[in-house]
C-alpha cells in the first residue's frame, strides 16, 4: 500500500485504484472540527478529479469511526447563522462525497455517533464490525441532524424507524443496524477495513464505465419518478452496450478466457 498524500487530521492512502481515507484525530475519537471539515472538502474535490479512482473506503483511526462534530471547537459558532453556515458547508462536502463517480464504502469500527453517523450515510455502502455503535445523538444536545443525514436515513430505513432513531438518540449495535438496512454487512471486531477493502477490490476489478453508470443511475434515479428513473437507466445501459469493455466481456465469455478491460 502506497501513501498517496496526507493532511494532519486525515490520512489518504492508495492501493492501486482503491483509495483509503482515514480520519485521524484519536485524541478526540476522530471528531470533526472546522479545520478537518475543510481538509475533507479539499480531499473530496481532488478525488472527484481523479480518473484512476475505482473505489473509496472511508474509515477512522484507533478503533473508532467518527464520534461526531468536535463540540469544543464548535463553541466558537456562537450564533445561529454561524451554525447554519457550518451545517451547509458539511452538507456540501457530504453531497460531493456521495456524488463521486466511484463507489464509496464506509468501514465502521467503534463509534459512529452524531455527525459521524451522518458521514457514514453519505457513503454508498457500509460495513460494520461487531464493535460498531451507531447513534444519532444530536437530539440529546438540544439540536438535530444538520449534515443531510436525516433525509438519507429516511430513504434508507423509512419514516417511522428514522423518526424513532432521531428522536430518541438510541444506540444501534452492528447487528441491529444490519437488520434494519442501515449497514450491509457485519464482520468480526477489527475486520471492518479488511472487509471493506476486499469489497473495494472486487468493485475495482469490474469494468469502470459499467460501475460508474450503475452508481449514477441509482444515485439520480432515487430522486426521479419511477418512469423517469427507468428511462434514465435505459440511457445509461445504451451507452455501455456498444462499449469496448462490453464487447471484450462477451468475446472472453465465448472464448472461455478472462476478460481484459480497458475502460477509462
Cα atoms in the Cβ-side hemisphere of radius 13 Å centred on 84: 3
Decide: 56 and 47 in contact? Cβ < 8 Å: yes
Q: pLDDT value at position 1?
A: 46
Beta bridge partners of 10: 23
Sequence ranges of the chain with CATH classification 3.90.226.10: 2-204
Please say if the pLDDT value at position 236 is more than 90: yes
Q: pLDDT value at position 4?
A: 45
- Residue 3: pLDDT band (50, 70, 90) is very low
Q: pLDDT value at position 7?
A: 63
Query: What mean pLDDT is predicted for residues 196-203?
Result: 98
Write out pLDDT tens, residues 129-174. 999 999 999 999 999 999 999 999 999 999 999 999 999 999 999 9
Query: What mean pLDDT is predicted for residues 53-57?
Result: 98
Query: What mean pLDDT is predicted for residues 69-75?
Result: 96
Burial label for 167, CB within 10 Å (0-12, 13-18, 19+), is exposed
Q: What is the maximal distance between C-alpha atoms in the chain?
A: 67
Which of 56, 61, 53 shows the shortest CA–CA distance to 22? Answer: 61
> Which contacts qualify for 24-28: CB closer than 8 Å, 24 or more apart?
24/60, 24/61, 25/61, 25/70, 26/61, 26/62, 26/64, 28/67, 28/70, 28/72
Q: C-alpha angle 115/66/152, rounded to 5°?
A: 40
| Fold designation for 2-204 | 2-enoyl-CoA Hydratase; Chain A, domain 1 (3.90.226)
Burial label for 161, CB within 10 Å (0-12, 13-18, 19+), is middle
Instruction: Give 208-255's CATH code, choosing from 1.10.1740, 1.10.150, 1.10.12, 1.10.10.
Output: 1.10.12
DSSP code, position 182? S
Cα atoms in the Cβ-side hemisphere of radius 13 Å centred on 144: 10
Sequence ranges of the chain with CATH classification 1.10.12: 208-255
Q: pLDDT value at position 18?
A: 98
Cell of 41: 472538502
Q: pLDDT value at position 223?
A: 87
Q: Please give the mean pLDDT across all residues of the chain.
A: 95
Q: Among residues of the chain, what percentage have pLDDT more than 90?
A: 94
Beta bridge partners of 173: 133
Please say if the pLDDT value at position 53 is more than 90: yes
Chain centre to alpha carbon of residue 197: 13
Q: pLDDT value at position 222?
A: 87
Write out pLDDT tens, residues 109-120. 999 999 999 999
Instruction: Please tell me the pTM assigned to this model.
Output: 0.94
Please say if the pLDDT value at position 194 is more than 90: yes
Amino acid at each position: 500500500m502506497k501513501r498517496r498524500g496526507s493532511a494532519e487530521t486525515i490520512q489518504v492512502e492508495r492501493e492501486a485504484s482503491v483509495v483509503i481515507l482515514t480520519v485521524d484525530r484519536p485524541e478526540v475519537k476522530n471528531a470533526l472540527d472546522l479545520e478537518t471539515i475543510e481538509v475533507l472538502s479539499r480531499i473530496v474535490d481532488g478525488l472527484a478529479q481523479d480518473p484512476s479512482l475505482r473505489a473509496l473506503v472511508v474509515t477512522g483511526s484507533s478503533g473508532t469511526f467518527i464520534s461526531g462534530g468536535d463540540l469544543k471547537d464548535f463553541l466558537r459558532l456562537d450564533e445561529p447563522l454561524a451554525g447554519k453556515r457550518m451545517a451547509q458547508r458539511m452538507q456540501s462536502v457530504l453531497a460531493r462525497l456521495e456524488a463521486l463517480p466511484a463507489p464509496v464504502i464506509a468501514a465502521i469500527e467503534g463509534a459512529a455517533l452524531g455527525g459521524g453517523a451522518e458521514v457514514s450515510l453519505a457513503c454508498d455502502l457500509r460495513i460494520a464490525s461487531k464493535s460498531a455503535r451507531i447513534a444519532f445523538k444530536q437530539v440529546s444536545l438540544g439540536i438535530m441532524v444538520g449534515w443531510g443525514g436525516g433525509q438519507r436515513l429516511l430513504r434508507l430505513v423509512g419514516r417511522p424507524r428514522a423518526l424513532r432513531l432521531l428522536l430518541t438518540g438510541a444506540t444501534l449495535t452492528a447487528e441491529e443496524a444490519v437488520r434494519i438496512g442501515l449497514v450491509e454487512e457485519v464482520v468480526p471486531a477489527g475486520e471492518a477495513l479488511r472487509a471493506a477493502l476486499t469489497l473495494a477490490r472486487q468493485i475495482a476489478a469490474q469494468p469502470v464505465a459499467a460501475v460508474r453508470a450503475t452508481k449514477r443511475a441509482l444515485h439520480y434515479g432515487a430522486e426521479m419518478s419511477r418512469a423517469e428513473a427507468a428511462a434514465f437507466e435505459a440511457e445509461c445501459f445504451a451507452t455501455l452496450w456498444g462499449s469496448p469493455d462490453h464487447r471484450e466481456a462477451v468475446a472472453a465469455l465465448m472464448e472461455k478466457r478472462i476478460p481484459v478491460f480497458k475502460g477509462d
